[in-house]
Amino acid sequence: MRSCTWIGTGCSWRQLPHDFPPWDTVYFYFQRWAAEGTVDRIHDAVRDAAGRHPMASAGAVDSQTVPGAATVGTGTRGWDAGKKTNGRKRHLVVDTMGLLIVVLVTAASVADRDGAVRVLDRAKMVMPSLVLVWADAAYSRRASEFAARVLRIAVQVVAKLVGQSGFVPLPRRWVVERTHAWITRHRRMSRDYERLPAYSEAMIKWAMIGLMTRRLAPASGRRPWQPARAA
């Protein structure tokens, strides 16, 4: 899909490739589809085709702070003291394959425990079958108790290994961290450029739509990990 390719390479709205319609027309439909839920329906339909089962029972939750560009207003951005970053925070809930269930974009100043309550509530509405979520130690007892009491979701904390230094993939939790890496691998997603958090969420869904459609219908030719044929 051309829109997903554009997110991968990255440019401003006014610098869209010449084979796109006028940029303001593209932006109009981007806004309209995000507001009407069209992006959600496309994303969920592709995820159901690419995933193991359309109704997941387990998943993982995590957040990622990204810098905010000059186009991000002061009202929707904040300072993450832990990451020393001024921008926004992406809260994701993914299934056991790392495919996106829901995303919530907030100011970076929103604590993980508060973002968890909101994103898990959204995840339960989208996928009522969700009953178990893995998280890191930043998700407090308050968030876990809310999830268990109100949402009927068990939050299981996967703590760091004793003596761990640097990045180490942890059981279950690494899946959502990999999804964050998939998203930020798109140049457009390396920071937040959108004026509204809702448009940032739509951009993340478009990035995941592109990733899943490439899995469902991969391009022909040799893969990077496959050896070249002998002459």
- What's residue 219's pLDDT? 73
| pLDDT for res 160 | 67
DSSP-H helix ranges across the chain: 2-9, 23-36, 38-50, 112-126, 141-146, 174-184, 197-216
pTM above 0.85, yes or no: yes
Predicted local confidence at residue 44, as pLDDT: 94
Domain ranges of the chain: 2-160+168-216
Domain boundaries 2-160+168-216, corresponding CATH code: 3.30.420.10
In this predicted structure, what is the pLDDT of residue 209?
Answer: 94
To 10 degrees, the CA torsion angle through 128, 131, 135, 139?
Answer: 80
- At 178 the pLDDT is 93
Q: What is the pLDDT of residue 29?
A: 95
pLDDT along the chain (231 residues), means of 10: 65 85 93 96 93 86 95 94 95 95 97 93 95 87 89 87 63 88 92 95 95 84 67 49
Q: Residue 96: which of 152, 175, 207, 154 has the closest Cα?
A: 175
**Helix (H/G/I), strand (E/B), else coil: 136:** coil
